[in-house]
């Protein structure tokens, strides 16, 4: 058990910040694929959690993707993370000193045919954990 913990800690600290950020985005979209919107919401940065409650997010995501698009899951690809300095989610949010931007392409197959959604996703550290943000700048 101790050996396993040492190995996990070793690989956690061995990965670069950009790899850790990308892994967080991957984890977020794996939860979304499974329809586990409660778990994906937990990976949001506190600025995102202020935008909508957990219950609202769970209900809205399921409604839009599963009901409107009539899909049960999707596939996704992630681009290489890009480091950005002094990024803001919107004009009223705090500036985040170091953020990684990852382009995510979700591919859906539903009653309206096959389609992709491309979105820039941002990841920043909060309380020593990588957290997901979306861009709301206009």
Can you give the three-state secondary structure of 6-24, one letter per residue? Answer: HHHHHHHHHCCHHHHHHHH
Q: Tens of pLDDT along 19-49?
A: 999 999 999 999 999 999 999 999 999 999 9
What confidence score (pLDDT) does residue 113 get? 87
What confidence score (pLDDT) does residue 97 get? 94
Q: Residue 11: is its pLDDT beyond 80? A: no
Higher pLDDT, 55 or 110: 55
**Fold exhibited by the domain 2-134:** Nuclear Transport Factor 2; Chain: A, (3.10.450)
What confidence score (pLDDT) does residue 102 get? 98
Q: Residue 1: is its pLDDT beyond 80? A: no
Q: What pTM was estimated for this model as a whole?
A: 0.86
Q: Residue 12: is its pLDDT beyond 60? A: no
Q: Residue 14: is its pLDDT beyond 80? A: no
Q: Tens of pLDDT along 78-127?
A: 999 999 999 999 998 989 999 999 999 999 988 888 999 999 999 999 99
Distance CA 73, CA 62 (A): 11
Residue 23: φ, ψ to 5°: -65, -35
Give Cα separations from 64 to 33, 50, 85, 97 (angstroms): 13, 20, 33, 33
What confidence score (pLDDT) does residue 15 get? 83
List the chain domain ranges.
Answer: 2-134
């Amino acid at each position: 058990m101790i050996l396993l913990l040492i190995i996990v800690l070793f690989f956690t600290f061995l990965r670069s910040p950009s790899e850790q950020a990308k892994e967080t985005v991957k984890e977020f979209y794996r939860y979304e694929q499974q329809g586990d919107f409660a778990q994906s919401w937990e990976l949001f940065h506190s600025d995102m959690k202020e935008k909508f409650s957990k219950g609202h997010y769970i209900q809205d995501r399921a409604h839009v993707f599963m009901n409107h698009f009539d899909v049960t899951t999707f596939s996704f690809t992630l681009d290489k993370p890009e480091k950005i300095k002094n990024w803001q989610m919107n004009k009223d949010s705090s500036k985040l000193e170091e953020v990684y931007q990852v382009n995510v392409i979700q591919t859906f197959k539903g009653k309206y045919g096959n389609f992709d959604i491309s979105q820039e996703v941002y990841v920043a550290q909060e309380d020593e954990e990588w957290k997901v943000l979306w861009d709301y700048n206009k």
